[in-house]
Amino acid sequence: MQPPRLPVRLLVASGEIFGISEGTTRVALSRMVASGELELHDGSYQLAGRLRERQDRQLASRRARHRSWAGAWELVVVTAERRDAASRSALRDAMRRMKLTELREGVWARPDNLDPLRSPDALALVAQQCRRFVGAPDTGGEDRELAATLWDLDAWAGAATAFERELARSSRALAAHDHDEMAPAFVLSAAVLRHLLADPELPDELVPPDWPGPALRAAYDNYDATFKAVWRDWFRTQA
């Protein structure tokens, strides 16, 4: 939802779609408030903390907005010494959020086509442990081959095409107001969002000509609208 806020009664009722009782849902919501994942305002809960940050990343991945690419690559080199396991793990997570991939241990890279200020929290953590460079690698013009060695583009594309088919099937069931489809449809929605987050968002010049990213995003936008319409209709029948 945008903004990420829903009334308590709608959240509690929606738990029933998954067979979750009202009491269990209310306990879960209270615990999420206590852990900083939700905030309560005027009878509605809204996302906070890491869940709000995750939703922001999901929205960005649905839009996949990136700059035109001039051929340069971004290189981030770990310079910090004597890091503990928690610091190393946090850095790896920050690199993934910035859509960098590991070229070799301690060296991360990607084409320089994304906003350099993306994911400010991840950027701040990376700045504590690394140095960033931007330049053109000596690939002899074989940037597409380099990208293909750093990311498994075929696997991502294959899964994206399969998700497109699943979205089409589920959309037909939802459009027929099959309320039993809502729970698996919600699970499918979450899986597609995770897949979009894993899209490296490479320049058009570095992906195959039939890259399914734009088609999957368009299919998901239509699917999301259909799901929300059926969900609201279901809620009105419960009132």
Q: Provide CB contacts within 8 A for 96, sequence distance 6+.
A: none
Label residue 36 left, alpha or beta by phi (over 0 means left) and psi (-120 to 50 means alpha): left
Across residues 191-206, what is the average pLDDT? 95
Q: Which residues pair with 131 in a beta bridge?
A: 77
Please state which architecture CATH assigns to domain 151-238.
Answer: Up-down Bundle (1.20)
Q: What angle do CA 213, 202, 71 make, to 5 degrees?
A: 145
**Per-residue model confidence (pLDDT) at position 44:** 94
Please state which architecture CATH assigns to domain 73-135.
Answer: 2-Layer Sandwich (3.30)
Q: Taking 70 as the threshold, does the pLDDT of residue 239 lie above it?
A: no
Please, what's the b/e burial string for 79-116 (b: 16 or more CB within 10 A of its CB; e: otherwise)? eeeeeeeeeeebbeebbbbbbbeebeeeebbbbbbbee
What Rg do the C-alpha atoms of the chain give, in angstroms?
21
Distance CA 57, CA 199 (A): 12
Q: What is the identity of the amino acid at 205?
A: E
Q: Would you kindly state where each structural domain of the chain is located, as residue ranges?
A: 5-47, 73-135, 151-238
The structure tokens listed for 145 are: 């081959």
pLDDT category, 179, cuts 50, 70, 90? confident
**Per-residue model confidence (pLDDT) at position 83:** 85
Longest CA span, the chain = 65
**pLDDT tens across 100-137, in order?**
999 999 999 999 999 888 888 899 999 999 999 999 87
CA distance between the termini of the chain: 20
Name the pTM for this structure.
0.89
* Cα atoms in the 13 Å half-sphere on the side-chain side of 184: 11
Across residues 33-45, what is the average pLDDT? 94
